[in-house]
Amino acid sequence: MPLDAETIAVSTDRAAHEWRRGRAVLLQSATGNYLALAAETLSETALDQALAQALALAGAGAAEAALALTAQRAAVLHILPNGHDTLLLPLAELPVPVPERASLIRDLADASRDLAAPLRGPYQRLRGAPPQAAAAAIKLAKVAYLLPAAVLIPLGEAVLSELLVRVQVEAITAYDQAAAESLKPVSQARLPVADAEDARLYAFRAADGGPEHFALVIGRPDPGQPVLARLHSECFTGDLLGSLRCDCGEQLRGAVRTIRESGGGVLLYMAQEGRGIGLVNKLRAYQLQDEGFDTVEANLRIGYAADERWFLPAARMLKLLGFSSVRLLTNNPEKVEGLAAAGIEVAERVPHKFPANSHNEAYLATKKKRSGHYL
């Protein structure tokens, strides 16, 4: 029976929060169940307890416990690729004594020590295609804004205590789509802002209970015409603190001015910090950039893609506001393609760039060279 939207949203969100607390969840799939823990929040006690529980229930199957890593992170650790986005390292073959396994697992997931204290392999991966549960575990870590790595302990058909939070692989796989499609406006108010006094702010919330997205509608744009629109991913450091490492703050304020001067439009403020990896992981990427890696390389080293955003939530918001066609303020071709793929006509791409400073020159150059931005 297909999962309903509420089950998808609630079960995945609960599991993600359990992982942020350092607790295990029961990951269920058609091919068997797994006791799963997030690598970033893993403790020796939690790992020992989970392995003991699995051994009691599944016997020798517990010996197949493994660490799931993304192909990007595995490449950094010089682990041979397997042709899949996810691979597994058997815990039994980790080159450390048993009491130190959790510490090594956290280090394997975390790129912050790669250069200062290189990890000594070689690390052996399991052969063959990883189970669907491995990719689902990586996705769950991303939903929780944790480092994308997880411990999987197979249980076969065995099931643990009812007190354990459960989530199906299918729910995690369908999570993004279900969350975007469940977005709905929950509040709105007139909001005069410094560069556009005639503005109204709308809040949109999804069924998963996650952070809200916002839309600032400036003036009275005509839904029958392509609306001037900006998709802006939230940036705490740039938007609020005025960080010079990026151009986000300038893009945000410049978009409001441009929209107001053009007679009206909409600015979507998306809860997609750090191109979808979250603020904590963005700070990790900044640390790596200070060690000489560019913004793309930094994301890949911590196990994420160069850009984890997608654009169905933005398309859903635009449609709920009555807009089906936009003149898009952006330098990013992926935004144009992503919005069009989500059912919004992009009638025109409107350039939206600002002068570099000494702190973000390399960042902007990387966006142009590595990500194809029109800069």
Residue 239 is encoded by which pair of tokens?
Answer: 């938007």
- Give residue 59's pLDDT: 64
pTM for the whole structure: 0.92
- Give residue 26's pLDDT: 93
Residue 272 exposure: Cα atoms within 13 Å on the Cβ side: 20
Residue 91 is encoded by which pair of tokens?
Answer: 């815990």
Give the three-state DSSP class for 291.
Answer: coil
Residue 8 is encoded by which pair of tokens?
Answer: 């998808």
Q: What is the CA radius of gyration of the chain?
A: 22
Greatest mean pLDDT range, 202-206, 295-299, 361-365? 202-206
Q: What is the pLDDT of residues 36-85, one digit of tens each?
A: 999 999 999 999 998 888 887 766 545 489 999 999 999 999 998 889 99
Beta bridge partners of 267: 216, 230
Nearest 10 degrees: CA dihedral of 52, 54, 57, 62?
A: -110
- The verdict on whether 23 is a catalytic residue reads no
Examine the pLDDT at 368 and tell me if it is beyond 90. Answer: no
Examine the pLDDT at 191 and tell me if it is beyond 70. Answer: yes
- Give residue 60's pLDDT: 53
Least confident of 58-62, 248-252, 285-289, 355-359: 58-62
Q: Tell me the angle at which helices 132-143 and 5-20 cross, rounded to the nearest 10 degrees.
A: 70
For residue 326, name the pLDDT band (cuts at 50, 70, 90).
very high
- Give residue 99's pLDDT: 84
What one-letter code names the amino acid at 38?
Answer: A
Residue 223 exposure: Cα atoms within 13 Å on the Cβ side: 7
Residue 119 is encoded by which pair of tokens?
Answer: 């990890």
What is the rounded CA–CA span in Å between residue 291 and residue 213?
33
Under 8 Å between Cβ of 210 and 179: yes
Residue 116 is encoded by which pair of tokens?
Answer: 């200062």
Mean pLDDT to the nearest integer, 158-164: 71
Examine the pLDDT at 224 and tell me if it is beyond 90. Answer: yes
Output the CA–CA distances (angstroms, integers) from residue 260 to 1, 187, 318, 331, in the order listed. 49, 23, 18, 19
Q: Which of 307, 327, 349, 370 is an active site residue?
A: 307
Residues in the chain, how many? Answer: 375
- Give residue 161's pLDDT: 67
- Give residue 18's pLDDT: 96
Mean pLDDT of the chain: 91
Does an H or E element contain 204, and which? strand 199-205
The pairing of strands 32-38 and 149-156 is: antiparallel
- Give residue 375's pLDDT: 56
Examine the pLDDT at 278 and tell me if it is beyond 90. Answer: yes
- The verdict on whether 113 is a catalytic residue reads no
For residue 209, name the pLDDT band (cuts at 50, 70, 90).
confident
128 class by beta-carbon count within 10 Å (0-12 exposed, 13-18 middle, 19+ buried):
exposed
